[in-house]
């Protein structure tokens, strides 16, 4: 059994009855939606036509929201409905990044994720979903796609149907008949500063002030709010994690190379690793809508979610940092059976986020094949920068570390330019890259990230290699540059509209 929907836009009159019936059936709060009707207009006056698109969860057979959900709050039922359990949700919003269709929202009352669940409670007792019952045009058909005699199967078998973003491989079970194709390609619609009967949410405007306004496309005239789920706390989490991982990664390399700085490498490195790992975890927890349920990551964890795997990696890394510090406080160098596992876990802690971002399937920019290597290099730069700063401030010595920082900055510059200039991903990923290089984020990208965070520190170190002041200034700039890149990477990834 595989329940699915078909929405016939040859019949839909855009009356919003389905939206209202859904809100009534599920007590959906004001400002969030399980199903909504989007309006676009095409053509030029007087030859203009308005088109409707009824949008909701696609009950994907291969649902990325289920894979990324760290606590199995989202799950696929035996009848094919993708349902959710608000009691398990920790409000991490990762499902909102994984869903390519913008189907999920955070319920402002429970602070947990929610979406269309096909009115599973009605289906179980033989009733049809509320939106199907209320539609005055019988434009919504719900039924079993595995039953060849069902209405939906017969209509789907006739062909001439569309699904949203089939290239995502999610195998949606929401089919459209007679829909205007532009409604299926949200990044190809021209946005406006405000909507019919509605304001736009803060943070929604990056894309509409960019290239969309320059193209002669369908105009989006009515939609629901789509504020970006992740913000500054996730930027801070990425930044703190780069430092946490980098200090032992670089510290381990220096010890392996025979670098003699016991106070710096025996004590300060592991202490900084522990402090920034703790900060990373606290930032992650503070970004949860239900921080009180943080421990569900371990008690109800989904082993396929990189949020859960990352939690274990950070835990293991923290443990090796404790062991390292234990030897350090007794004035001893950590043994190799501590150093190399710590270095390996440092790399894992730095890089696992790339796999989490790949699970965020809705965000095309974040599918970058360079991001994993970029995170490792960022960790190296951040570790060298923090150790250099600490060494210079506490021991007035910065020998060796400027060379490591220089190599890290050169690699960082190469991979940063590769991220934006080497073609990868689909059309939407290319659009997001253009936002970085030519669009609304170009000033921050070229100014703060590339010039201020990479080129300027490289120039300072190259011109004054032995000057403590300039090497510490370079380290501070490099850390600021990592923050700047993480900030615009998070913004650009979420700038392309999903629906
Ligand atoms: Fe629904 Fe989105 Fe999950 Fe697909 S990925 S099942 S559309 S919430």
CA 174 / ligand 1 centre spacing (Å): 10
Higher pLDDT residue, 195 or 244?
A: 244
Higher pLDDT, 99 or 497: 99
The answer, yes or no, to whether any atom of ligand 1 lies below 6 A from the CB of 374, is: no
Is any atom of ligand 1 closer than 6 Å to the C-beta of 247? no
Rounded to an integer, the average pLDDT of 394-406 is 78
Do 22 and 35 form a contact (C-beta atoms < 8 A)? Answer: yes
Structure tokens of 321? 């940092």
The two three-digit tokens of residue 265, written as one number: 């490498």
Number of the ligand 1 atom closest to the C-alpha atom of 59: 6
| Average pLDDT estimate for 306-333 | 97
Residue, of 197 and 443, whose pLDDT is higher:
443
- 279 confidence band (pLDDT: 50, 70, 90): very high
Ligand 1 pocket, 58 CB below 6 A?
yes
Model pTM? 0.93
pLDDT at 391: 87
Query: CA 414 to CA 423: how far, in whole Å?
Result: 15
CA of 157 to the centre of ligand 1 (A): 23
Q: Which residue has the tokens 């920019």?
A: 365
471 has pLDDT over 60: yes
Q: Which residue has the higher pLDDT, 413 or 465?
A: 413
pLDDT at 2 over 70: yes
Q: In 3D, which of 409, 310, 422, 407 has the Cα closest to residue 371?
A: 422
Coil, helix or strand at residue 345: helix
Contact between residue 84 and residue 347 where contact means Cβ atoms under 8 Å apart: no
CA of 113 to the centre of ligand 1 (A): 12
* 244 touches 317 (CB < 8 A): yes
Q: Is the distance from the beta carbon of residue 81 to the nearest atom of ligand 1 less than 6 Å? A: no
Pick the more confident residue, 396 or 116: 116
Alpha-carbon distance 480 to 242, whole Å? 12
Q: How far apart are CA 347 and CA 246, in angstroms?
A: 8
d(CA 428, CA 212): 12
Does the Cβ of 99 fall within 6 Å of ligand 1? yes
Across residues 67-80, what is the average pLDDT? 98
pLDDT of residue 188: 76
Cβ atoms < 10 Å from Cβ of 212: 21
Residues 124-143: what's their mean pLDDT?
97
The reported pLDDT for the residue numbered 392 is 85
Q: Is 399 a residue whose pLDDT tops 70?
A: no
Task: Give the ligand 1 atom nearest the CA of 74.
Answer: 3
Q: Which of 140-149, 182-191, 347-356, 403-412 has the lowest mean pLDDT?
A: 182-191
Q: What is the mean pLDDT of residues 393-404?
A: 76
Model confidence at 309: pLDDT above 60: yes
pLDDT digits (tens, 9 = 90+) for 140-188: 999 999 999 999 999 999 988 999 999 999 999 999 999 999 999 887 7
Evaluate: CB of 173 within 6 angstroms of ligand 1: no
Average pLDDT score over residue span 53-67? 98
> Are the CB atoms for 389 and 462 separated by under 8 Å?
no
HEC profile of 348-384: HHHHHHHHHHHHCCCCCHHHCCCHHHHHHHHHHHHHH
> CA-to-CA distance for 121 and 128, rounded, in angstroms?
10
The mean predicted confidence, pLDDT, of the chain is: 93
* pLDDT, tens digit, 9 for 90 and up, residues 93-107: 999 999 999 999 999
- How far is ligand 1, taken at its centre, from the CA of residue 64, in Å? 7
CA distance 36 to 38: 6
> pLDDT tens, 315-328?
999 999 999 999 99
Q: What per-residue confidence (pLDDT) applies to 10?
A: 94
Lowest pLDDT segment from 34-48, 79-93, 484-498: 34-48
Q: Which residues of 421-444 are buried (b: 16+ CB within 10 A; e: fewer)?
A: eeeebeebbebbbbbbeebbbeeb
For the chain, the distance separating the N- and C-terminal CA atoms, rounded to the nearest angstrom, is 28
What is the SS3 assignment for 111? coil
What is the 8-class DSSP label of residue 229?
S
Does ligand 1 lie within 6 Å of residue 63's CB atom? yes
User: Among residues 230, 232, 239, which one has the least CA distance to residue 97?
Assistant: 230
Higher pLDDT, 306 or 226: 306
Return d(Cα 199, Cα 214) in angstroms, integer: 22
And the tokens for 394?
A: 């506490």
Whose alpha carbon is nearest atom 4 of ligand 1? 60
Q: Ligand 1 pocket check: which of 64, 99, 117, 498 to mutate, most ligand atoms within 8 Å of Cβ?
A: 99
Ligand 1 in reach of 18 Cβ (< 6 A): no
Q: Is the CB of 115 under 6 A from ligand 1?
A: yes
Our CA angle for 218, 161, 187, nearest 5°, is 30
Q: 95 C-alpha vs ligand 1 centroid, how far in Å?
A: 8
Atom of ligand 1 nearest to the CA of 56: 7
Q: Does the beta carbon of 268 lie inside 6 Å of ligand 1?
A: no
User: Higher pLDDT residue, 487 or 257?
Assistant: 487
CB contact burial 239-273 (16+ within 10 A = b; e otherwise): bbbbbbbbbbbbbbbbbeeebebeebbbbbbbbbb
User: Looking at ligand 1, which residue's alpha carbon is closest to its atom 2?
Assistant: 99
> Which pLDDT belongs to residue 44?
83
Split at pLDDT 50, 70, 90, the class of 27 is: very high
Indicate if the pLDDT at residue 376 is higher than 90.
Answer: yes
210 confidence band (pLDDT: 50, 70, 90): very low
Q: What residues are paired with 222 via a beta bridge?
A: 39
Segment 395-404 mean pLDDT? 75
Ligand 1 site, residue 55, Cβ cutoff 6 A: no
Our mutation pick for probing the ligand 1 site, out of 34, 54, 60, counting the most ligand atoms within 8 A of Cβ, is: 60
Question: In the predicted model, is pLDDT for residue 219 greater than 90?
Answer: no
For ligand 1, mutation pick of 54, 81, 104 (most atoms within 8 Å of CB): 104
The CA distance from 289 to 86, in Å, is 12
Query: What spacing in Å lies between the alpha carbon of 61 and ligand 1's midpoint?
Result: 9
- Give 9 Cα–ligand 1 centroid separation in angstroms: 21
């Amino acid at each position: 059994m595989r329940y699915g929907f078909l929405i016939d836009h040859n019949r839909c009159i855009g009356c919003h009855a389905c939206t209202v019936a859904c809100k009534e059936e599920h007590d959906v709060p004001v400002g969030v939606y399980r199903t909504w009707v989007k309006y676009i207009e095409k053509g030029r006056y007087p030859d203009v036509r308005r088109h409707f698109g009824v949008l909701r969860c696609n009950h994907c057979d291969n649902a990325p929201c289920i894979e990324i959900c760290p606590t199995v709050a989202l799950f696929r039922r035996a009848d094919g409905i993708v349902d959710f359990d608000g009691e398990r949700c920790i409000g991490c919003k990762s499902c909102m990044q994984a869903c390519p269709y913008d189907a999920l929202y955070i319920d402002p009352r429970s602070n947990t994720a929610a979406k269309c669940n096909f009115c599973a409670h009605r289906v179980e007792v033989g009733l049809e979903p509320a939106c199907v019952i209320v539609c005055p045009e019988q434009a919504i058909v719900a039924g079993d796609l595995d039953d060849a005699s069902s209405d939906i199967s017969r209509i789907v078998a006739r062909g001439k149907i569309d699904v949203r973003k089939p290239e995502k491989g999610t195998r949606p079970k929401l089919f459209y008949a007679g829909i205007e194709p532009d409604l299926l390609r949200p990044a190809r619609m021209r946005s406006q500063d405000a909507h019919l009967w509605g304001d736009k949410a803060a943070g929604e405007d990056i894309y509409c002030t960019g290239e969309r306004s320059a193209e002669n496309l369908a105009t989006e005239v009515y939609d629901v709010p789509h504020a970006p789920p992740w913000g500054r706390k996730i930027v801070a989490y990425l930044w703190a994690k780069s430092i946490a991982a980098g200090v032992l990664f670089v510290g381990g390399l220096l010890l392996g190379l025979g670098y003699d700085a016991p106070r710096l490498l025996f004590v300060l490195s592991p202490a900084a690793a522990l402090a920034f790992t703790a900060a990373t975890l606290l930032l992650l927890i503070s970004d949860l809508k239900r921080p009180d349920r943080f421990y569900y990551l371990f008690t109800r964890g989904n082993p396929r979610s990189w949020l859960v795997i990352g939690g274990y990696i950070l835990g293991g890394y923290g443990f090796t940092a404790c062991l390292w510090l234990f030897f350090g406080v007794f004035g001893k160098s950590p043994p190799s059976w501590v150093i190399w596992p710590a270095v390996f876990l440092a790399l894992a802690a730095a890089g696992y986020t790339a796999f989490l971002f790949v699970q965020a399937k809705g965000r095309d920019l974040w599918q970058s094949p360079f991001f994993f290597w970029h995170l490792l290099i960022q960790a190296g730069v951040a570790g060298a920068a923090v150790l250099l700063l600490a060494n210079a401030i506490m021991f007035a010595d910065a020998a060796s570390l400027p060379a490591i920082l220089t190599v890290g900055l050169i690699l960082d510059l190469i991979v940063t330019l590769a991220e934006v200039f080497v073609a990868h991903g689909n059309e939407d990923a290319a659009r997001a890259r253009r936002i970085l290089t030519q669009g609304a984020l170009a000033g921050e990208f070229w100014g703060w990230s590339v010039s201020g965070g990479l080129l300027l520190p490289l120039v300072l170190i190259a011109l004054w290699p032995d000057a403590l002041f300039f090497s510490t200034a370079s380290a501070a700039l490099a850390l600021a540059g990592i923050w700047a890149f993480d900030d615009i990477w998070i913004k650009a990834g979420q700038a392309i509209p999903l629906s």
